Amino acid sequence: MAKRRPFGILYAPVVREHLRPIDRRHYGLIMEAIELHLAYEPDVETTNRKPLGPTTELQAEWELRCGPGNRFRVFYEVDRDKRRVNIVAIGVKRGNRLRIGREEVKL
């Protein structure tokens, strides 16, 4: 049986700004979750991965929940033809509030 080729993961330049308000000790955890959950089947819905509806402000198709209490959110798009995952935003969800960078965003 042939091995599946993993998806490449690309980060939008703005993602660096999104990470600044997040405590550095969580960076490795977030990056590990991205590699683990998005490298092979990024467009398959799971407990921590779901497609986003058309009403979101974000230019993303999917959301990955990770971290303690699933409080971190990674928003991304999938290009199946190029086998690429484009990370467009990373945020923190507390209660019903989502902060990406220093801004509050509505989902």
- Residue 98 CB burial class (10 angstroms; 0-12, 13-18, ≥19): buried
> 106 is written with which tokens?
């509505």
Residue 30 counted as domain residue: yes
| pLDDT reported for residue 66 | 96
| pLDDT reported for residue 105 | 84
Give the lowest-confidence range in 30-44, 48-62, 79-93. Answer: 48-62
31-65 burial, b at 16+ Cβ within 10 Å, e below that, comes to bebbeebbeeebbeeeeebeeeeeeeebebbbbbb
pLDDT in tens, 19-48: 999 999 999 999 999 999 999 999 999 999
| pLDDT reported for residue 70 | 94
Distance CA 5, CA 74 (A): 22
- Looking at the structure of the chain, the number of domains it has is 1
Residue 2 counted as domain residue: no
| pLDDT reported for residue 46 | 95
At residue 1, does pLDDT exceed 60?
no
All residues at 6 or more sequence positions from 36 whose CB lies less than 8 Å from its CB, including other chains:
none
Residue 93 counted as domain residue: yes
User: Residue 28 sits in which domain range?
Assistant: 8-105
CATH number, domain with residue 34: 3.30.2310.20
Residue 31 counted as domain residue: yes
Residue 33 counted as domain residue: yes
Residue 21 counted as domain residue: yes
pLDDT band at 3 (very low <50, low <70, confident <90, very high): low
Residue 1 counted as domain residue: no
